[in-house]
Amino acid sequence: MDTILRAEHIRKTYGASSVPVDALNGIDLAFAKGKFYSIIGRSGSGKSTLLHILSGLDAPTEGKVYFEGKDLSEYSDRQMAIFRRRHMGFVFQQYNLMEEYNVLENICMPVKLDQRKPDPGFLHTVLETLGLLDKQEKYACQLSGGEQQRVAIARSVLSKPKIIFADEPTGNLDKKTAFETLELLMESAKKFGQTLIMVTHDLEAARMSEEVITIEDGKVIS
């Protein structure tokens, strides 16, 4: 297997207080390049925590994450920020859109920050597929939750990252839009050899992935 990302003995304990929470209890996983994974499990089982650690947004209490063999804990904060911008795409439960920028500016932001130019043809395809062509000038406050989610997805896809991390990317979308959105994510992933790691409650969405990882109480059970 051509491994792009590997998690080794990951533990995560939140809170140094008298009631610490063990969110992850020893996770070992390897992700193959270009494959589509979904992570399922009950609310509070540790899915978002795992995604944050795999993407280097948060550090594990114990264990290591390797991206293409490189130990993420060796990066400085600044190196990590650049690394994430260049190689990783994110779609979160909260959309994290920038209020003071319009849809188009939000979508193009990671590419621009990386001193690259968005590919106009691809930009059009992404906007069209996600139904955002007529929303480019709008601001986050003028969009519905589903529309904001589609903007976040467009933003994650446009920079053609090596890995896309998605936390409930279709949670706020109706069935048809959810399906089309996943299709776009998968299409993009295939086209650019991207690895897709998606957390979902939706078993139907999980079924579209190539491998399902089930988490229970901070452990992988299958």
Ligand X SMILES: Nc1ncnc2c1ncn2[C@@H]1O[C@H](COP(=O)(O)OP(=O)(O)OP(=O)(O)O)[C@@H](O)[C@H]1O
Which residues here bind Mg ion, judged by CB under 5 A?
48
Element spanning 170, H or E = none
Do residues 162 and 129 lie in contact, with contact meaning Cβ atoms separated by under 8 Å?
no
Task: Catalogue the long-range contacts made by 75-82 (C-beta closer than 8 Å, 24 or more residues apart).
Answer: 80/56
**3-14 and 62-67 strand pairing:** antiparallel
Annotate each residue in 15-44 with x if it binds ligand X (CB under 6 A) or - if it does not, as one string: x-----x-x-----------------x-xx
Cβ burial of 3 (10 Å; 0-12, 13-18, 19+) is middle
Out of ligand X, Mg ion, none, which partner does residue 21 contact, by CB within 5 to 8 A per kind? ligand X
Number of residues counted as binding ligand X (CB under 6 A)? 12
Residue 60 engages ligand X in binding (rule: CB under 6 A): no
Out of ligand X, Mg ion, none, which partner does residue 44 contact, by CB within 5 to 8 A per kind? ligand X
Nearest CB to ligand X, comparing residues 26 and 131? 26
Rounded CA gap, 153 and 130, in Å? 8
Residue 47 engages ligand X in binding (rule: CB under 6 A): yes
Residue 209 engages ligand X in binding (rule: CB under 6 A): no
48-86 CB burial, b ≥16 within 10 A, e <16: bbbbbbbbbebebeebebbbeeeebeebeeeebeeebbe
Beta-sheet strand order (sheet of 36-40): 88-91, 163-167, 195-199, 36-40, 211-216, 219-220
Least gap, CB of 87 to ligand X (angstroms)? 23
Least gap, CB of 17 to ligand X (angstroms)? 9
Nearest CB to Mg ion, comparing residues 39 and 72? 39
Least gap, CB of 19 to ligand X (angstroms)? 10
Least gap, CB of 45 to Mg ion (angstroms)? 9
Which residue from 4, 37, 45, 153 is in contact with ligand X, where contact means CB under 6 A?
45
Residues that bind ligand X (CB under 6 A): 14-15, 21, 23, 41, 43-49
